[in-house]
């Protein structure tokens, strides 16, 4: 599948510090320790509707991960999937009468445009479930052979008891798991399963649904195995960071890790499990199912500068659940104007200390609030007492671009 065009990242003097991130599985902030090339897998969209601000906030968080790693001297292998066949997509297509493939392609193209406008660095590997069906069927066959999966009629389920460490990623108790499994696409009450938490690997063909004819029979893959196999095939076991929104902690990331660990007989799937907070509107999580969406594309088409939108979403810690209120965007637009005016000056206060401050803030679990405040202080000095360093505005423009992805 085609990715989107990526933007150039300026090279900054020196090298940034090692990136520390909160690891959900360990429950603490830990320093990442990638080799020369860091491996990053972020779960992608199910393309049945347009990109909303919750999506954007998540992908911006992992865009910062890429930028901090690159500034620290690492190359990055970034992989993202697209769940371009799944129940929500098929349900939306049936409701609207549109071909499901046409619906998916239109929304994927809109997502590409949104990510391009927000200057999110593109994945090297952007891979759909549809194109991965042969690999997924092969992996499910291997799980069956290993006794980690079993049939229920025409369907195939993963046996959670085949993963002795199941539950380590989320740390949730069984009651919480059962509740979230039912809420987030699982089927705990499905007859014939060995355990209510066993997850669907292969859905046998149902009338009117798309299917692939494989050694498993006619059907289509489940959701969790998709990310397991794509990540394993592109990054290998034990890659640096698996990321997504906090609503993916369970069941999706727990099960995708368990599938991969059962396939390989090794653990962990990823060294860090990193999750972004939810964006709320009117006291509820912004989501397609609730219909309380603020769409990136509509804001763009309404004349909102994508850099102001990016700045508004960075003005809050990536792990924090936060509300999208009426004042966020005007405040970001005003801040963007101040920053642009400051870097348009012919000179300003020295900016080397600012570079060190922004680097330190972002390396500390992506503390964008502290980074923005440091830039604000430099801008105030530049607009007030000024300075005589003619290179400073250029350096500030470059560091804001390279580390925060904002084009001034």
Instruction: Express as a percent the part of the chain with pLDDT over 90.
Output: 94
In a structure prediction context, what are the per-residue pLDDT tens digits for the chain, which is 408 residues long? 999 999 999 999 999 999 999 999 999 999 999 999 999 999 999 999 888 999 999 999 999 999 999 999 999 999 999 999 999 999 999 999 999 999 999 999 999 999 999 999 999 999 999 999 999 999 999 999 999 999 999 999 999 999 999 999 999 999 999 999 999 999 999 999 999 999 999 999 999 999 999 999 999 999 999 999 999 999 999 999 999 999 999 999 999 999 999 999 999 999 999 999 999 887 777 666 666 788 999 999 999 999 999 999 999 999 999 999 888 999 999 999 999 999 999 999 999 999 999 999 999 999 999 999 999 999 999 999 778 999 999 999 999 999 999 999
Distance CA 13, CA 137 (A): 48
Half-sphere exposure of 329 (CA within 13 A, CB side): 14
Structure-derived torsion over alpha carbons of residues 279, 284, 289, 290, reported in degrees to the nearest 10: -130
The answer to whether residues 299 and 309 touch, using CB atoms and an 8 Å cutoff, is yes
Angle at 380 between CA 376 and CA 383, to 5 degrees: 135
Residue positions counted in the chain: 408
Q: Which pLDDT belongs to residue 212?
A: 98
Residues 6+ away with beta carbon under 8 Å from 207: none
Q: For residue 127, which phi and psi values (nearest 5 degrees)?
A: -130, 130
pLDDT tens column, 194-253: 999 999 999 999 999 999 999 999 999 999 999 999 999 999 999 999 999 999 999 999
In whole angstroms, how far apart are CA 227 and each of 41, 127, 230? 9, 10, 5
Copy the structure tokens of residue 302.
């309404």
In order, the DSSP letters of 129-183 are TGGGHHHHHHHHHHHHHTTSEEEETTEEEE-GGG-TTTTTTT---HHHHHHHHHH
Residue 204, beta-bridge partner list: 219
Copy the structure tokens of residue 231.
């990540």
pLDDT tens column, 298-354: 999 999 999 999 999 999 999 999 999 888 999 999 999 999 999 999 999 999 999
């Amino acid at each position: 599948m085609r990715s989107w065009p990526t933007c150039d990242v300026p090279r900054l003097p020196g090298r940034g510090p090692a990136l520390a991130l909160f690891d959900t599985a360990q429950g603490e902030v830990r320093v990442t320790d990638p080799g020369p090339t860091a491996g990053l897998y972020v779960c992608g969209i199910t393309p049945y509707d347009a990109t909303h601000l919750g999506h954007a906030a998540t992908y911006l968080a992992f865009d910062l991960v890429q930028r901090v790693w690159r500034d620290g001297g690492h190359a990055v292998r970034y992989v993202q999937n697209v769940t371009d066949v799944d129940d929500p997509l098929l349900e939306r297509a049936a409701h609207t009468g549109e071909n499901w493939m046409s619906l998916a392609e239109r929304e994927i193209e809109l997502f590409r445009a949104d990510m391009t406008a927000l200057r999110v660095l593109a994945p090297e590997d952007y891979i759909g479930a549809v194109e991965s069906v042969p690999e997924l069927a092969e992996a499910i066959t291997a799980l069956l052979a290993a006794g980690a999966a079993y049939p229920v009629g025409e369907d195939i389920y993963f046996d959670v008891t085949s993963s002795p460490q199941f539950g380590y990623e989320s740390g949730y108790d069984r009651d919480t798991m059962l509740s979230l499994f039912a809420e987030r696409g699982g089927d705990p009450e499905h007859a014939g399963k060995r355990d209510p938490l066993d997850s669907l690997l292969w859905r046998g063909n149902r009338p009117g649904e798309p299917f692939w004819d494989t050694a498993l029979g006619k059907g289509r893959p489940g959701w969790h195995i998709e990310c397991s196999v794509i990540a394993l095939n592109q990054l290998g076991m034990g890659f640096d960071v698996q990321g997504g929104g906090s609503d993916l902690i369970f069941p999706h990331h727990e099960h995708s890790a368990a599938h991969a660990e059962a396939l390989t007989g090794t653990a962990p799937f990823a060294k860090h499990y990193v999750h972004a907070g939810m964006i709320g509107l009117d006291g509820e999580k912004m989501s397609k199912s609730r219909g309380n969406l603020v769409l990136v594309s509509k804001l763009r088409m309404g004349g909102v500068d994508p850099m102001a939108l990016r700045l508004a979403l960075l003005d809050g810690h990536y792990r924090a659940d936060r509300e999208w209120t009426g004042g966020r965007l005007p405040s970001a637009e005003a801040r963007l104007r101040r920053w642009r005016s400051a870097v348009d000056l012919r000179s300003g206060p020295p900016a080397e200390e600012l570079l060190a401050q922004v680097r330190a803030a972002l390396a500390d679990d992506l503390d964008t609030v502290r980074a923005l405040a440091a830039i604000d202080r430099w801008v105030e000095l530049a607009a007030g007492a000024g300075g005589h360093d003619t290179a400073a505005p250029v350096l500030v423009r470059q560091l804001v671009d390279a580390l925060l992805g904002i084009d001034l």
